[in-house]
Amino acid sequence: MERKVGVALVGCGRIAPIHAIALKELPFTEIVMTMDVIRERAEAFAREYGGQPTADYQQVLANPKVEVVQICTPHYNHAQLALKALEAGKHVLVEKPMALSVEDAKEMIATAQRKGLQLGVIFQNRYNASSEAVKEAISSGELGELRAARAFVTWHRDDEYYRSDPWRGTWAQEGGGLLINQAIHTLDLMQWLMGEIKTVSANCRRWGHEFIEVEDTAEAYIRFANGALGCFYGTNCYPANEPVFLEVLGTKGKAQIIADKAVITIGDEIREITPESNSSSHPSYWGRGHQTQLADFYQSLLKEEKVKIDGTEGIAAMALVLAMYASSATGAEIDFQQFIKGSH
Ligand SMILES: NC(=O)c1ccc[n+]([C@@H]2O[C@H](COP(=O)([O-])OP(=O)(O)OC[C@H]3O[C@@H](n4cnc5c(N)ncnc54)[C@H](O)[C@@H]3O)[C@@H](O)[C@H]2O)c1
Protein backbone atom coordinates (compact mmCIF):
# COMPACT_ATOMS: atom_id res chain seq x y z
CA MET A 1 0.00 0.00 0.00
CA GLU A 2 1.10 3.51 -0.77
CA ARG A 3 2.17 5.54 2.26
CA LYS A 4 -0.16 8.14 3.72
CA VAL A 5 0.92 11.78 3.79
CA GLY A 6 0.34 13.42 7.18
CA VAL A 7 -1.77 16.59 6.96
CA ALA A 8 -2.65 19.35 9.41
CA LEU A 9 -5.91 21.10 8.65
CA VAL A 10 -5.58 24.70 9.82
CA GLY A 11 -8.79 26.72 10.14
CA CYS A 12 -11.89 24.62 10.86
CA GLY A 13 -14.63 26.90 9.52
CA ARG A 14 -17.04 26.75 6.58
CA ILE A 15 -14.78 25.48 3.80
CA ALA A 16 -12.81 23.09 5.99
CA PRO A 17 -15.30 20.14 5.85
CA ILE A 18 -14.81 19.96 2.07
CA HIS A 19 -11.05 19.65 2.62
CA ALA A 20 -11.52 17.16 5.46
CA ILE A 21 -13.92 14.93 3.51
CA ALA A 22 -11.59 14.95 0.50
CA LEU A 23 -8.61 14.06 2.72
CA LYS A 24 -10.55 11.21 4.34
CA GLU A 25 -11.64 9.83 0.97
CA LEU A 26 -8.14 9.88 -0.52
CA PRO A 27 -6.25 6.64 0.13
CA PHE A 28 -2.90 8.39 0.48
CA THR A 29 -3.63 11.15 3.03
CA GLU A 30 -4.24 11.19 6.76
CA ILE A 31 -5.35 14.10 8.93
CA VAL A 32 -2.86 14.04 11.80
CA MET A 33 -3.77 17.41 13.33
CA THR A 34 -6.70 19.83 13.27
CA MET A 35 -5.99 23.39 14.34
CA ASP A 36 -8.18 26.41 14.95
CA VAL A 37 -7.74 29.43 17.19
CA ILE A 38 -11.19 28.48 18.48
CA ARG A 39 -10.22 25.24 20.19
CA GLU A 40 -13.75 23.73 20.16
CA ARG A 41 -13.77 23.90 16.35
CA ALA A 42 -10.50 21.97 16.14
CA GLU A 43 -11.90 19.42 18.61
CA ALA A 44 -15.15 18.99 16.72
CA PHE A 45 -13.17 18.41 13.50
CA ALA A 46 -10.85 15.91 15.17
CA ARG A 47 -13.86 13.95 16.46
CA GLU A 48 -15.41 13.87 13.01
CA TYR A 49 -12.38 13.45 10.76
CA GLY A 50 -9.56 12.24 13.02
CA GLY A 51 -6.28 13.81 14.09
CA GLN A 52 -5.08 15.56 17.21
CA PRO A 53 -6.80 18.89 17.91
CA THR A 54 -4.92 22.01 18.92
CA ALA A 55 -5.33 25.77 19.14
CA ASP A 56 -1.56 26.29 19.04
CA TYR A 57 0.09 26.61 15.63
CA GLN A 58 3.52 25.92 17.15
CA GLN A 59 2.34 22.37 17.87
CA VAL A 60 1.51 21.92 14.20
CA LEU A 61 4.95 23.19 13.16
CA ALA A 62 6.73 21.03 15.73
CA ASN A 63 4.94 17.78 14.83
CA PRO A 64 7.20 15.64 12.57
CA LYS A 65 4.17 13.66 11.36
CA VAL A 66 2.76 16.81 9.73
CA GLU A 67 4.17 16.92 6.20
CA VAL A 68 1.57 19.27 4.70
CA VAL A 69 -0.20 22.26 6.24
CA GLN A 70 -3.53 22.87 4.56
CA ILE A 71 -4.63 26.46 5.24
CA CYS A 72 -8.37 27.26 5.39
CA THR A 73 -8.26 30.43 7.47
CA PRO A 74 -9.40 33.99 6.67
CA HIS A 75 -7.40 35.74 3.94
CA TYR A 76 -5.28 38.05 6.11
CA ASN A 77 -3.26 35.28 7.73
CA HIS A 78 -2.67 33.01 4.70
CA ALA A 79 0.79 34.44 3.98
CA GLN A 80 1.96 34.48 7.58
CA LEU A 81 0.80 30.90 8.30
CA ALA A 82 2.20 29.61 4.99
CA LEU A 83 5.59 31.25 5.52
CA LYS A 84 5.90 29.79 9.03
CA ALA A 85 4.96 26.33 7.74
CA LEU A 86 7.47 26.51 4.87
CA GLU A 87 10.23 27.70 7.21
CA ALA A 88 9.40 24.73 9.46
CA GLY A 89 9.92 22.38 6.49
CA LYS A 90 6.24 21.65 5.71
CA HIS A 91 4.62 21.68 2.28
CA VAL A 92 1.66 24.06 2.03
CA LEU A 93 -1.71 23.94 0.31
CA VAL A 94 -3.51 27.25 0.82
CA GLU A 95 -7.05 28.35 -0.03
CA LYS A 96 -7.50 31.27 -2.42
CA PRO A 97 -6.36 34.03 -2.37
CA MET A 98 -2.82 32.87 -1.53
CA ALA A 99 -2.07 36.26 0.09
CA LEU A 100 -3.26 39.86 0.14
CA SER A 101 -0.23 41.46 -1.49
CA VAL A 102 2.01 40.65 -4.43
CA GLU A 103 4.98 41.10 -2.12
CA ASP A 104 3.76 38.42 0.33
CA ALA A 105 2.87 36.03 -2.49
CA LYS A 106 6.35 36.43 -3.99
CA GLU A 107 7.93 35.75 -0.60
CA MET A 108 5.88 32.56 -0.30
CA ILE A 109 7.01 31.41 -3.76
CA ALA A 110 10.66 32.24 -3.02
CA THR A 111 10.57 30.51 0.37
CA ALA A 112 9.05 27.32 -1.09
CA GLN A 113 11.76 27.33 -3.78
CA ARG A 114 14.57 27.94 -1.30
CA LYS A 115 13.35 25.15 0.99
CA GLY A 116 12.60 22.73 -1.88
CA LEU A 117 8.96 22.46 -0.78
CA GLN A 118 5.63 22.44 -2.59
CA LEU A 119 3.30 25.42 -2.39
CA GLY A 120 -0.17 24.72 -3.79
CA VAL A 121 -3.05 27.19 -4.15
CA ILE A 122 -6.69 26.14 -4.34
CA PHE A 123 -8.41 27.07 -7.61
CA GLN A 124 -10.60 23.99 -7.83
CA ASN A 125 -12.66 25.15 -10.81
CA ARG A 126 -9.70 24.64 -13.13
CA TYR A 127 -10.27 20.92 -12.56
CA ASN A 128 -13.90 20.94 -13.76
CA ALA A 129 -14.37 18.88 -16.92
CA SER A 130 -15.83 22.01 -18.54
CA SER A 131 -12.74 24.14 -17.79
CA GLU A 132 -10.37 21.41 -18.96
CA ALA A 133 -12.33 20.96 -22.21
CA VAL A 134 -12.18 24.68 -22.99
CA LYS A 135 -8.48 24.81 -22.16
CA GLU A 136 -7.91 21.89 -24.55
CA ALA A 137 -10.00 23.55 -27.31
CA ILE A 138 -7.71 26.59 -27.02
CA SER A 139 -4.37 24.75 -26.83
CA SER A 140 -5.23 22.44 -29.73
CA GLY A 141 -6.00 25.50 -31.90
CA GLU A 142 -9.64 24.43 -32.37
CA LEU A 143 -10.93 27.88 -31.38
CA GLY A 144 -8.38 29.67 -33.54
CA GLU A 145 -6.81 32.92 -32.37
CA LEU A 146 -8.37 34.31 -29.22
CA ARG A 147 -10.25 37.58 -29.72
CA ALA A 148 -12.30 38.22 -26.59
CA ALA A 149 -13.65 36.92 -23.32
CA ARG A 150 -16.60 37.96 -21.19
CA ALA A 151 -17.69 36.81 -17.77
CA PHE A 152 -20.55 37.45 -15.36
CA VAL A 153 -20.80 36.51 -11.70
CA THR A 154 -24.20 37.42 -10.25
CA TRP A 155 -24.44 35.92 -6.80
CA HIS A 156 -26.18 36.58 -3.53
CA ARG A 157 -24.49 37.30 -0.23
CA ASP A 158 -26.87 38.76 2.34
CA ASP A 159 -26.07 41.12 5.21
CA GLU A 160 -25.96 38.14 7.57
CA TYR A 161 -23.09 36.67 5.53
CA TYR A 162 -21.02 39.81 6.12
CA ARG A 163 -22.07 40.04 9.79
CA SER A 164 -21.38 36.34 10.51
CA ASP A 165 -17.59 36.67 10.83
CA PRO A 166 -15.71 39.88 11.70
CA TRP A 167 -13.09 39.40 8.94
CA ARG A 168 -15.64 39.58 6.11
CA GLY A 169 -16.27 42.87 4.37
CA THR A 170 -13.05 44.46 5.69
CA TRP A 171 -9.99 45.68 3.77
CA ALA A 172 -7.58 44.59 6.48
CA GLN A 173 -8.80 41.01 6.86
CA GLU A 174 -10.75 39.98 3.75
CA GLY A 175 -8.61 42.26 1.56
CA GLY A 176 -11.57 43.22 -0.62
CA GLY A 177 -15.02 41.83 -1.29
CA LEU A 178 -16.66 40.34 -4.36
CA LEU A 179 -13.46 40.31 -6.44
CA ILE A 180 -10.97 38.82 -3.97
CA ASN A 181 -13.39 36.33 -2.46
CA GLN A 182 -15.99 35.16 -4.98
CA ALA A 183 -15.13 36.39 -8.48
CA ILE A 184 -11.46 35.41 -8.16
CA HIS A 185 -12.36 31.90 -9.38
CA THR A 186 -13.87 33.21 -12.63
CA LEU A 187 -11.08 35.74 -13.12
CA ASP A 188 -8.55 32.95 -12.59
CA LEU A 189 -10.24 30.86 -15.29
CA MET A 190 -10.32 33.86 -17.63
CA GLN A 191 -6.61 34.60 -17.26
CA TRP A 192 -5.68 30.89 -17.38
CA LEU A 193 -7.58 30.47 -20.66
CA MET A 194 -6.72 33.79 -22.30
CA GLY A 195 -3.02 34.09 -21.41
CA GLU A 196 -0.77 36.94 -20.35
CA ILE A 197 -2.45 40.16 -19.24
CA LYS A 198 -1.30 43.52 -20.58
CA THR A 199 -3.54 46.09 -18.86
CA VAL A 200 -6.42 46.18 -16.38
CA SER A 201 -9.12 48.82 -15.70
CA ALA A 202 -11.93 48.48 -13.20
CA ASN A 203 -14.67 50.26 -11.31
CA CYS A 204 -15.56 48.83 -7.94
CA ARG A 205 -18.43 49.94 -5.77
CA ARG A 206 -20.49 49.13 -2.72
CA TRP A 207 -24.01 48.73 -3.98
CA GLY A 208 -26.15 46.60 -1.68
CA HIS A 209 -24.34 46.23 1.67
CA GLU A 210 -23.95 49.69 3.10
CA PHE A 211 -22.10 48.73 6.28
CA ILE A 212 -19.17 46.84 4.68
CA GLU A 213 -15.90 48.57 3.77
CA VAL A 214 -15.23 46.72 0.54
CA GLU A 215 -16.85 46.35 -2.91
CA ASP A 216 -19.82 44.08 -3.50
CA THR A 217 -20.07 44.99 -7.22
CA ALA A 218 -17.46 45.55 -9.93
CA GLU A 219 -16.92 45.89 -13.66
CA ALA A 220 -13.53 45.35 -15.24
CA TYR A 221 -11.79 45.45 -18.61
CA ILE A 222 -8.65 43.51 -19.49
CA ARG A 223 -6.34 43.80 -22.51
CA PHE A 224 -4.45 40.58 -23.09
CA ALA A 225 -0.95 40.41 -24.58
CA ASN A 226 -2.34 38.49 -27.60
CA GLY A 227 -4.57 41.49 -28.45
CA ALA A 228 -7.78 39.94 -27.10
CA LEU A 229 -10.13 41.99 -24.90
CA GLY A 230 -11.81 40.77 -21.75
CA CYS A 231 -14.75 42.22 -19.88
CA PHE A 232 -16.22 41.24 -16.54
CA TYR A 233 -19.23 42.19 -14.47
CA GLY A 234 -19.92 40.85 -11.01
CA THR A 235 -22.12 41.51 -8.01
CA ASN A 236 -22.94 39.89 -4.70
CA CYS A 237 -26.21 41.79 -4.54
CA TYR A 238 -28.22 39.67 -6.96
CA PRO A 239 -31.19 37.97 -5.25
CA ALA A 240 -29.98 34.49 -6.24
CA ASN A 241 -26.75 32.59 -6.89
CA GLU A 242 -27.15 32.39 -10.65
CA PRO A 243 -24.76 30.26 -12.74
CA VAL A 244 -21.42 31.88 -13.53
CA PHE A 245 -21.01 32.65 -17.24
CA LEU A 246 -17.64 32.77 -19.01
CA GLU A 247 -17.17 32.91 -22.77
CA VAL A 248 -14.02 32.74 -24.82
CA LEU A 249 -14.32 33.83 -28.43
CA GLY A 250 -11.80 32.77 -31.08
CA THR A 251 -11.49 33.25 -34.83
CA LYS A 252 -12.73 29.69 -35.49
CA GLY A 253 -15.28 29.22 -32.71
CA LYS A 254 -16.36 29.99 -29.18
CA ALA A 255 -16.53 28.22 -25.86
CA GLN A 256 -18.95 29.02 -23.08
CA ILE A 257 -18.77 27.85 -19.49
CA ILE A 258 -22.10 28.08 -17.70
CA ALA A 259 -21.70 27.02 -14.06
CA ASP A 260 -19.92 23.67 -14.47
CA LYS A 261 -21.05 22.88 -18.03
CA ALA A 262 -19.28 23.88 -21.22
CA VAL A 263 -20.66 24.46 -24.71
CA ILE A 264 -18.06 24.55 -27.48
CA THR A 265 -19.26 25.79 -30.88
CA ILE A 266 -17.11 25.40 -33.99
CA GLY A 267 -19.08 26.34 -37.11
CA ASP A 268 -22.23 24.18 -37.11
CA GLU A 269 -20.84 21.70 -34.62
CA ILE A 270 -21.93 22.16 -30.99
CA ARG A 271 -20.34 20.05 -28.25
CA GLU A 272 -21.56 19.97 -24.65
CA ILE A 273 -19.45 18.92 -21.72
CA THR A 274 -21.43 18.18 -18.58
CA PRO A 275 -20.06 17.41 -15.12
CA GLU A 276 -20.21 14.10 -13.33
CA SER A 277 -23.19 14.00 -10.97
CA ASN A 278 -22.63 16.09 -7.86
CA SER A 279 -23.77 14.11 -4.86
CA SER A 280 -21.99 16.21 -2.25
CA SER A 281 -23.84 18.43 0.19
CA HIS A 282 -21.88 21.64 -0.32
CA PRO A 283 -23.14 24.45 -2.60
CA SER A 284 -22.94 23.41 -6.26
CA TYR A 285 -21.33 26.76 -7.20
CA TRP A 286 -18.20 25.69 -5.25
CA GLY A 287 -17.93 22.72 -7.67
CA ARG A 288 -16.53 19.23 -7.04
CA GLY A 289 -13.05 20.37 -7.86
CA HIS A 290 -11.61 20.36 -4.32
CA GLN A 291 -11.61 16.57 -4.34
CA THR A 292 -9.87 16.47 -7.73
CA GLN A 293 -7.37 19.20 -6.91
CA LEU A 294 -6.43 17.59 -3.59
CA ALA A 295 -5.98 14.19 -5.29
CA ASP A 296 -3.75 15.81 -7.91
CA PHE A 297 -1.77 17.81 -5.31
CA TYR A 298 -1.00 14.75 -3.15
CA GLN A 299 -0.24 12.52 -6.13
CA SER A 300 2.29 15.08 -7.38
CA LEU A 301 3.76 15.31 -3.90
CA LEU A 302 4.20 11.53 -3.67
CA LYS A 303 5.73 11.39 -7.14
CA GLU A 304 7.95 14.37 -6.23
CA GLU A 305 6.63 16.28 -9.24
CA LYS A 306 5.79 20.00 -9.24
CA VAL A 307 2.15 20.58 -8.26
CA LYS A 308 -0.02 21.93 -11.07
CA ILE A 309 -1.44 25.04 -9.37
CA ASP A 310 1.64 26.23 -7.52
CA GLY A 311 2.47 29.70 -6.21
CA THR A 312 3.43 31.00 -9.65
CA GLU A 313 0.01 29.94 -10.96
CA GLY A 314 -1.81 31.12 -7.84
CA ILE A 315 -0.36 34.63 -7.82
CA ALA A 316 -1.91 35.57 -11.19
CA ALA A 317 -5.58 35.89 -10.23
CA MET A 318 -4.69 37.47 -6.88
CA ALA A 319 -2.55 40.11 -8.59
CA LEU A 320 -5.27 40.65 -11.22
CA VAL A 321 -7.77 41.46 -8.48
CA LEU A 322 -5.29 43.78 -6.73
CA ALA A 323 -4.65 45.56 -10.04
CA MET A 324 -8.43 46.02 -10.38
CA TYR A 325 -8.53 47.65 -6.94
CA ALA A 326 -5.60 49.89 -7.88
CA SER A 327 -7.34 50.92 -11.09
CA SER A 328 -10.62 51.63 -9.35
CA ALA A 329 -8.89 53.73 -6.69
CA THR A 330 -6.92 55.84 -9.17
CA GLY A 331 -9.06 55.75 -12.31
CA ALA A 332 -5.98 54.62 -14.26
CA GLU A 333 -5.54 51.72 -16.66
CA ILE A 334 -2.93 49.56 -14.92
CA ASP A 335 0.08 48.11 -16.74
CA PHE A 336 -0.21 44.60 -15.31
CA GLN A 337 3.35 43.37 -15.86
CA GLN A 338 4.68 46.56 -14.29
CA PHE A 339 2.20 46.15 -11.44
CA ILE A 340 3.52 42.67 -10.65
CA LYS A 341 7.17 43.69 -11.07
CA GLY A 342 6.84 46.94 -9.13
CA SER A 343 5.13 45.52 -6.07
CA HIS A 344 8.29 44.63 -4.17
N1 LIG B 1 -12.38 27.48 -2.91
C2 LIG B 1 -13.61 27.82 -2.59
O3 LIG B 1 -14.56 27.63 -3.35
C4 LIG B 1 -13.87 28.47 -1.27
C5 LIG B 1 -15.17 28.57 -0.75
C6 LIG B 1 -15.33 29.17 0.51
C7 LIG B 1 -14.23 29.68 1.19
N8 LIG B 1 -13.00 29.59 0.61
C9 LIG B 1 -11.79 30.15 1.30
O10 LIG B 1 -11.52 29.41 2.48
C11 LIG B 1 -10.93 30.27 3.45
C12 LIG B 1 -11.74 30.20 4.72
O13 LIG B 1 -13.05 30.64 4.46
P14 LIG B 1 -14.27 30.17 5.38
O15 LIG B 1 -15.50 30.64 4.70
O16 LIG B 1 -14.13 28.73 5.73
O17 LIG B 1 -14.00 31.06 6.68
P18 LIG B 1 -14.53 30.82 8.16
O19 LIG B 1 -14.47 32.13 8.86
O20 LIG B 1 -15.84 30.08 8.12
O21 LIG B 1 -13.44 29.83 8.79
C22 LIG B 1 -12.14 30.23 9.08
C23 LIG B 1 -11.68 29.49 10.34
O24 LIG B 1 -10.30 29.82 10.56
C25 LIG B 1 -10.12 30.03 11.96
N26 LIG B 1 -8.93 30.87 12.15
C27 LIG B 1 -8.81 32.20 12.07
N28 LIG B 1 -7.52 32.56 12.26
C29 LIG B 1 -6.82 31.42 12.46
C30 LIG B 1 -5.46 31.14 12.71
N31 LIG B 1 -4.53 32.10 12.79
N32 LIG B 1 -5.09 29.84 12.88
C33 LIG B 1 -6.02 28.84 12.81
N34 LIG B 1 -7.32 29.05 12.59
C35 LIG B 1 -7.72 30.33 12.40
C36 LIG B 1 -11.42 30.67 12.43
O37 LIG B 1 -11.59 30.51 13.83
C38 LIG B 1 -12.45 29.88 11.60
O39 LIG B 1 -12.89 28.73 12.27
C40 LIG B 1 -10.87 31.65 2.81
O41 LIG B 1 -9.63 31.81 2.20
C42 LIG B 1 -11.95 31.59 1.74
O43 LIG B 1 -11.75 32.48 0.66
C44 LIG B 1 -12.79 28.99 -0.57
Cα 134 to ligand 1 centre (Å): 30
Q: Is the CB of 197 under 6 A from ligand 1?
A: no
Rounded Cα distance between 216 and 206, Å, is: 5
In sequence order, the 6+-apart residues with CB closer than 8 A to the CB of 135 are 126, 192, 193
Does the structure show a pLDDT above 70 at 208? yes
Cα 72 to ligand 1 centre (Å): 4
The pLDDT of residue 343 is: 60
**Nearest residue to 69 via CA among 49, 95, 50:** 95
Structure confidence at residue 289 as a pLDDT band (50, 70, 90): confident
Does the structure show a pLDDT above 60 at 318? yes
Q: Is the CB of 43 under 6 A from ligand 1?
A: no
* Residue nearest atom 30 in ligand 1 by C-alpha distance: 37
State pLDDT tens for residues 138-182. Answer: 999 999 999 999 999 999 999 999 999 999 999 999 999 999 999
238 in Cβ contact with 156 (< 8 Å): yes
Does the structure show a pLDDT above 60 at 282? no
* Residue nearest atom 14 in ligand 1 by C-alpha distance: 14
Does the structure show a pLDDT above 50 at 344? no
Cα 105 to ligand 1 centre (Å): 18
State pLDDT tens for residues 87-121. Answer: 999 999 999 999 999 999 999 999 999 999 999 99
Percent of the chain past pLDDT 70, that is, above it, reads 95
Pocket test residue of 9, 10, 12, 15 for ligand 1, highest count of atoms within 8 A of CB: 15
State pLDDT tens for residues 226-266. Answer: 999 999 999 999 999 999 999 999 999 999 999 999 999 99
Q: Is the CB of 122 under 6 A from ligand 1?
A: yes
CATH numbers and ranges of domains, the chain: 5-124 (3.40.50.720), 126-272+311-342 (3.30.360.10)
> In one letter, which amino acid is 337?
Q
Q: Is the CB of 164 under 6 A from ligand 1?
A: no
Q: Is the CB of 41 under 6 A from ligand 1?
A: yes
State pLDDT tens for residues 12-42. Answer: 999 999 999 999 999 999 999 999 999 999 9
Q: Is the CB of 165 under 6 A from ligand 1?
A: yes
Q: Is the CB of 295 under 6 A from ligand 1?
A: no
Q: How does DSSP assign 91-139, residue by residue?
A: EEEEPSSS-SSHHHHHHHHHHHHHHT--EEE--GGGGSHHHHHHHHHHH
Which atom in ligand 1 lies closest to the alpha carbon of residue 55?
33
Rounded Cα distance between 5 and 26, Å, is: 10
Q: Is the CB of 72 under 6 A from ligand 1?
A: yes
* Residue nearest atom 6 in ligand 1 by C-alpha distance: 15
Q: Is the CB of 55 under 6 A from ligand 1?
A: no
Which atom in ligand 1 lies closest to the alpha carbon of residue 165?
19
218 in Cβ contact with 179 (< 8 Å): yes
